[in-house]
Amino acid sequence: MSARPLAILLESIHPVADGPLTEAGFVIERAPGALAGDELASALARATLLGIRSKTELRRGFSPHHPLVAVGCFCIGVDQVDHAHAAAAGCAVFNSPFSNTRSVAEMTVAEAVCLFRGIVFKSAQLHAGLWGKSAASSHEVRGRTLGIVGYGHIGSQVSVLAEALGMRVIYYDTSRKLALGNAQSRPSLDAVLTEADCVTVHVPETPTTRNLIGAKELARMKPGAMLINNARGSIVDVESLVRALESGALGGAAVDVFPHEPASAGDRFSSPLMGCANAILTPHIGGSTLEAQEAIAIDVAEKLVNFWRHGSTESSVNLPQVDLPVLRAGQLRILHVHRNVPGVLGQMHTLLAGAGVNINAEYLQSNERTSVVILDVDPFERAGVLDAISALDATIRMRTIKG
């Protein structure tokens, strides 16, 4: 049996993930698809790190007695993992929320160009054998006003790319955001809707963004304006959008996300938007590029390695976040995940002080249920101290790292 720790990577995670993991000493086992049942239980019981994408459901099977310390979701979403169950076993869960930001931004700007040139309609005509050469209703995007709703990671990237094409950018965000380039903020959604030639939404899906763009909002847009929704299907009311397109109130729309999306590639799809003229429909592929897959693989693999080597839970979705400096040579780092109950830190201090162990640094973060405490201590010989900390009632999981 190998003494090196095992990383099991499922669902054909991009091979660049192997680099950081191998360099950190992991043996890598791969499977092309998702696992379930006994096969998944075996992976959970054997691996120190487990890498999944969206198809592996991790609802049970975590145990503080397994070697598994972290799960890497090599994707954006993390709904496939029961976060609380993983935390209760002291397992950190990581993902890569922003590695496909640029892919979405590029597609958005490309769609704006396609909408203003009627590319989809003209392409369909030509596929049907009709030479529809005409400049009618065809416009450059240069000088047109792009209205961005939600100026976060994606919205701000769209802003930069659109300005590079000569567009005038305005935006509305519920939080104060630094305007990039010459972009200008507007005080309300309505101000953006009434001023922009093309509106693109990049807000998260929350109860307050459901139907953010409905009949009332569409009616406020300029006649012939374009709408792009590459965010989430619930944000734009589809029935109202169809009416606005069919009546000619809107000039066109690009939609990548839908209230009801098929589960798998190859499944049948249906939407009232099908057949609408100058509507670009794409199957939720805004972030789906090989570049994004590669960026996700590197990002998540590095987060897993950083947690394994240094104990850093920074950007974990389920454990309190502790970002740590590199451990000094010769020091011992104690990583202790425990239930968030009073007195645990005091008990650890007492045990270490009783053994004459000097604590050089201490980091603690808690959420409602769980605490992560990291202690950097001078090396010590006294047997039994670590076992005693590990045996504390509230301990979920403990491990040590040598500097």
Site string for ligand NAI, 67-106 (x = CB under 6 A): ---------x---------------------x-xx--x--
**CB distance 29 to 9 below 8 Å:** yes
Q: Between 225 and 257, whose beta carbon lies closer to ligand NAI?
A: 257
Cβ-based nearer residue to ligand NAI, 177 or 333 = 177
232 is catalytic: yes
Q: Does residue 147 bind ligand NAI (CB under 6 A)?
A: no
Give Cβ neighbours of residue 261 (< 8 Å, ≥ 6 apart).
233, 269, 283, 284
Structure tokens at 396: 């979920």
Residue 168 in the binding site for ligand NAI (CB under 6 A): no
133-170 burial by CB neighbour count: b if 16+ within 10 A, else e?
eeeeeebebeebbbbbbbbbbbbbbbbebbbeeebbbb
Q: 14, 202, 232, 310: which is the annotated catalytic residue?
A: 232
Q: Which is nearer to ligand NAI, 173 or 197 (CB)?
A: 173
DSSP 59-82: SS---TTSS--EEEE-SS--TTB-
Closer to ligand NAI by CB, 103 or 395: give it.
103
- Rounded to whole angstroms, how far apart are CA atoms 75 and 356? 46
Q: Which of 29, 261, 291, 314 is catalytic?
A: 261
**Pick 179 or 401: Cβ nearer ligand NAI:** 179
* Active-site residue (options: 30, 85, 284, 309): 284
The CB-of-153 to ligand NAI minimum distance in angstroms stands at: 4
Contact window for ligand NAI (CB under 6 A) among 127-135, 207-215, 263-271, 297-305:
207-215
Stretch near ligand NAI under the rule CB under 6 A, chosen from 113-121, 170-178, 316-324, 345-353: 170-178
Query: Exposed (0-12), middle (13-18) or buried (19+): which is 299, by Cβ within 10 Å?
Result: buried
Give the per-residue contact string, 240-279, with ligand NAI (x = CB under 6 A; - = no): ----------------xx----------------------
Label residues 86-124 b or e (16+ Cβ within 10 Å = b).
bbbbbbbbbbbbbbbbbbbbbbbbebbbbbbbbbbbbee
CB of 362 to ligand NAI, least distance (A): 32
261 is catalytic: yes
- Work out how close the CB of 78 gets to ligand NAI at its nearest, in angstroms, rounded to a whole number: 12
Separation CA 370–CA 318 (nearest Å): 9
Among 94, 151, 307, 308, contact with ligand NAI (rule: CB under 6 A): 151
- Lay out the sheet containing 370-377: strands in order across: 359-366, 370-377, 332-339, 395-402
Helix (H) or strand (E) holding 376: strand 370-377
Q: Is 209 in the site for ligand NAI (CB under 6 A)?
A: yes
- Residue closest to 258 by CA, chosen among 281, 227, 292, 288: 281
With binding defined as CB under 6 A, does residue 175 bind ligand NAI? yes
Q: Whose Cβ is closer to ligand NAI: residue 197's or residue 256's?
A: 256
User: Can 111 be counted among the known catalytic residues?
Assistant: no
Q: Does 220 bind ligand NAI (CB under 6 A)?
A: no
Q: Give the C-alpha separation, 313 to 140, whole Å.
A: 47
Which stretches within 61-142 are classed as H helix? 83-88, 101-117, 119-127
Binding residues for ligand NAI, per CB under 6 A?
A: 76, 98, 100-101, 104, 149-155, 172-175, 177, 202-205, 208-209, 212, 230-232, 256-257, 284, 286-287
Q: Which residues are catalytic?
A: 232, 261, 284
